[in-house]
Structure 1
């Protein structure tokens, strides 16, 4: 489990999650959406870097962007399955607190079960996957309304002073300011993954329009729902210590049980959240496998031709779906051996995804706007001045978030609570660097896009670097 240093921080939590994090994230989504509107390709970030970076560095910059993006997506998708699996295990504890003793290996099996479902539906259920995603969206809205209404109507309420004025710092950090900044992790994570639409661009109708709208729309929807949920949650927390002592390991499960006074009622509410996490994992596997498949298609990984294969009957990249699933299976063994190590990998999802976001935005800001003519932009555009301002805000936010996402959650720092995300990220990048140095640079010459967008073609990477 990823511990949060400050479960309730009143105004700090509301402002951080609902205002600062939202504004920073919307700037990033707008920036990436504009680029996706120009080049709607499955590769996303690493394709964009290939056309935006200077000629002499575009190939290597593109490769490392793709490598970092894939690592972040694999871990991010796995984190949804991990949450869903442990929540399903927590439901057993909720209903049988006296007879069931949860074991870590059992949690791993639940995690694997969610991964198997995601792989199966992506391979054999590709035709029903859009309907499953739609059903998940409906469940999300209906569940949100039901939970908010129930908490609002049935739970004892704290005063507005408790919600908006009181502050609780249990992190061990002597400075409330540092503790507030370290709490960034919990407000950044819910917004991750909005680039998924970009990686499905080659399968969307009118991708230059629909991909950026989906990216920005998901952030806006999450921001609004998150703000409402934060307010209701803070008013309805009840006894915080009671929630933290929940045998399920999930304070929100104990809150649902306290409010409904019914194990059946609490189980239904928890299942809503768990099923949404299961669906998120399946949708995330779709996006991640498409990005990795595009990378293989561009010869950016070992055995590229093998993994770039698309099944002739199923019309999906079966081998890539299985590869991503196997890699996520292996993450379960890390959790089995050391929960701290697994938490570091989850933290890496944030840093890895944000690194892959910041690179195309920086290149767009420094190089792209000088190269592109007005006619080169897609239907989703920010304007010259507006684009510079929004890109700058996005870069500042990404740097800020990445820096404080590496901080330990608690003081004093020891081997168990240390944030190892930087170590894991460096390990992933170092492994990639060694592969690229000895093998990758000999075969990877940059991505190729079958559907041209502007005169600034990704295929130009081949021509310029072979001269």
Structure 2
């Protein structure tokens, strides 16, 4: 098979994007995408505010904190809740800033594996792109499954509270609910971009309102049961079984690291965003910063309202946060607030499903997946990758069998963070090493701070990727407390490695252009005229060379 031509580095700057009319902005977006090597196949329906809402909604702060409350609770008690959240926030901001810079320069649905291919040494470009793409897809699909699994747990928690504990659904029914949620998401995620943009905007507001309601409710309704400020911020309780309290405290990072994932979604929907070179990086940073701030407020309120850590850990409810709301707000208040949390988590699953389907589509567009010709198809009616959506949900359902494990969330959270943060670290590392001279900044640039910020980002990604492979408790068993994150990651790594060695190295060459001269002419007639003039000039030079040769021969 003939090796496709490698995409040349972009020579145009995106700094000329101004506040022109919508049609003009979209033309500039499509022209930039064409210079990156791709033709526009989506409708650019996401505005700046909708892109921010999408990036924010994908982290679903109030629901995500509630579903992962177990980790800081068992790992550090009050200290785990407050500082187990606060410390990772600084490092995640460094990663978000580095990804925002890359996205501003190269706004395409391919995202991270495209960045890696462009910034890697040419000899290793395809291999590094392959590794990044598979790591990202693994994390994306594991995140879809974990979000929908926790949504199912929230539903079973509500059923238990509503029945006064008489109905406690086990792993089987929970898995059944998970499948129904995945089915609903497959249908909704197949919708047109305009509908998805409006849904994200609406639920951005619901997300913020629900979080603030939870904060106020916990602080006000806890009344005399509130712990002192000293205990709320400094009381450390280690319930992990690990003897070292410092190590146990680090395991509290699971909650913020799982919550603060998926913000690269703004890069993966950039082909659906108007003014993507500016809007996407703003969305990444705004979404992460808002999630970190609101999550910190919610966990401070939860720390004050938690009068007994051991009581919450001993609850029969699937999620300890449900018990905290029940103790604080009563049955009716808890169910009202919990219903909003369930809806936020459900929309969180929608946005993540969209994100995962876009990167799956992009990797298939570059022939990086088995059956790529099916997964890169765009539905003519909705102009969205419907086949990729259903593939994501099907694989998520397969991974969902972990619901029968007692540590399903630990395993899914670990696989998510390891997959995604590996794919984040690779292009950032290349940006500050081999790709420094090749990198062409977009409207958002870190400038001279890119190297120190990128270094911190890479080191943190490596640290948490190792950390989250450990179980949340010391004594484990295969059927009980085993963290299967390393099994999931190892299985994908083994499959992708063997695929590369046996076959893929012969046909995967990283991002390849899919745009023709006709497509470029439609997008940028001036560039096409310039290209035609260059071809005509080359033909004239060739003709003159032939004439000179003939004259010399005749002489």
Please indicate, yes or no, whether the TM-score normalized by the shorter chain is above 0.5: yes
* Cα separation, partners in 2 of 1:99 and 1:180, compared to 1, 3 Å: closer
Q: What per-residue deviation string (whole Å, max 9, x for no partner) do you get for residues 88-138 of structure 1? A: 111111111343131211111111121112111122464322221112111
**Does the CA-based 8 Å contact 2:206-2:344 persist in structure 1?**
yes
CA root-mean-square deviation? 1.9
**In 1, Cα distance between equivalents of 2:156 and 2:179:** 12
Q: Write the distance in 1 (CA, Å) between the matches of 2:316 and 2:159.
A: 11
Preserved CA contact (<8 Å) 2:378 2:384: yes
Q: Distance in 1 between matches of 2:267 and 2:145?
A: 19
Per the alignment, residue 68 of structure 1 pairs with 135
408 and 333 in structure 1: CA distance in 2 versus 1, 3 angstrom threshold: closer
Determine helix, strand or coil for the equivalent of 1:174. coil
1:320 aligns with 2:398: no
| Cα distance in 2, alignment partners of residues 209 and 420 from structure 1 | 39
Q: Which residue of 1 aligns with 2:150?
A: 83
1:57 alignment partner, SS class? helix
Q: Give the structure 2 partner of residue 382 of structure 1.
A: 446
Residue 368 (1) aligns with residue 443 (2):
no
Alignment of 1:416-435 (within 5 A): 416-435=480-499
Task: Give distance in 2, aligned partners of 1:449 and 1:36.
Answer: 18
> 1:346 is matched with which residue: 393, 410, 413?
413
Cα distance in 2, alignment partners of residues 387 and 124 from structure 1:
38
2:512 aligned to 411, 425, 448, which one? Answer: 448
Match of 1:25 in 2: 92
Question: Among 255, 267, 275, which residue is 2:343 paired with?
Answer: 275
Shift of 1:276: 0.8
Change (3 A) 1:123 1:324: same
Task: Using the TM superposition, give the Cα deviation of residue 16 of structure 1 relative to its aligned residue in structure 2, in angstroms.
Answer: 3.1
SS where residue 354 of structure 1 aligns?
helix
Match of 1:150 in 2: 217
Cα distance in 2, alignment partners of residues 33 and 124 from structure 1:
27
Other-structure match for 1:180? 249
Distance 1:237 1:342 in 2: 22
Q: Distance in 1 between matches of 2:72 and 2:204?
A: 30
Runs (5+) with no aligned partner, structure 1: 453-467
Distance 1:72 1:208, change over 3 A: same
> Is contact 2:146-2:409 (8 Å) kept?
no
Are 1:208 and 2:281 an aligned pair?
no
Instruction: Show structure 2 runs of 5+ residues with no match.
Output: 1-66, 521-555
Q: Which residue of 2 aligns with 1:227?
A: 296
The separation in 1 between residues aligned to 2:151 and 2:90, in whole angstroms, is 28
Per the alignment, residue 45 of structure 1 pairs with 112
Q: CA deviation at 1:410?
A: 1.3
Change (3 A) 1:112 1:439: same
Cα distance, 1:12–1:331 mapped onto 2, change above 3 Å: closer
Q: Distance in 2 between matches of 1:59 and 1:412?
A: 42
What are the equivalent positions in structure 2 for 1:286-325 lying under 5 Å apart? 286-325=354-393
Alpha-carbon distance in structure 2 between the residues aligned to 1:204 and 1:127: 10
Distance 1:16 1:170 in 2: 15
Task: Tell me by how many angstroms 1:147 deviates.
Answer: 1.1
> What per-residue deviation string (whole Å, max 9, x for no partner) do you get for residues 357-416 of structure 1?
0000110010122333xxx310100012x1111111111211221121122211234433
* Structure 2 CA distance for aligned equivalents of residues 29 and 206 of structure 1: 19
Does the CA-based 8 Å contact 2:104-2:441 persist in structure 1? yes
Tell me how far apart the structure 1 counterparts of residues 308 and 407 of structure 2 sit (CA, whole Å).
28
Q: C-alpha deviations, 1:404-440, integer Å up to 9, x for none?
A: 1122211234433232322321111111112222232
CA distance 1:177–1:279, shift in 2 (3 Å):
same
Does the Cα contact within 8 Å between 1:301 and 1:440 map onto a contact in 2? no
2: CA distance, partners of 1:420 / 1:9? 24
User: Could you tell me which residue of structure 1 aligns to residue 534 of structure 2?
Assistant: none
Describe the shift of the 1:98–1:28 C-alpha distance in structure 2 as closer, same or farther (beyond 3 A): closer
SS across alignment from 2:121: coil
Q: 1:276–1:265: structure 2 CA closer, same or farther, 3 Å change rule?
A: same
The answer as to whether partners of 1:409 and 1:418 remain within 8 angstroms in 2 is no
TM-score, normalised relative to structure 2: 0.77
Return the alpha-carbon distance in structure 1 between the equivalents of residues 79 and 158 of structure 2. Answer: 31
* 1:464 matched residue in structure 2: none
Deviations 1:285-305 (A, max 9, x none): 111101000000100111111
Deviations 1:266-292, CA, capped at 9 Å, x for gaps = 111111111111001101111110100
Contact 1:123 1:318 in 2 (8 A): yes
Deviation digits for residues 134-185 of structure 1 (CA, Å, limit 9, x no counterpart): 1211111111121111111111210112112221111111111111122221
Residues 192, 384 of structure 2: 8 Å contact kept:
no
Q: TM-score, normalised by structure 1?
A: 0.91
Q: In 1, distance between residues paired with 2:338 and 2:444?
A: 38
Deviation at 1:46, TM superposition (A): 0.3
| Counterpart selection for 1:399 from 455, 462, 466 | 462
Provide, for residues 204-248 of structure 1, a one-character-per-residue CA deviation record: whole Å limited to 9, x for no partner: 011111111111111100111111112111111123233223222
Whether contact under 8 Å (1:41, 1:449) holds in the other structure is no
Please state how far the C-alpha of 1:342 moved relative to its aligned partner. Answer: 6.4
In 2, Cα distance between the equivalents of 1:404 and 1:358?
A: 15
Quote the offset at 1:5 in angstroms.
6.7
Counting matched residue pairs gives 445
Verify the 8 A CA contact 1:5 1:183 in the aligned structure 2: yes
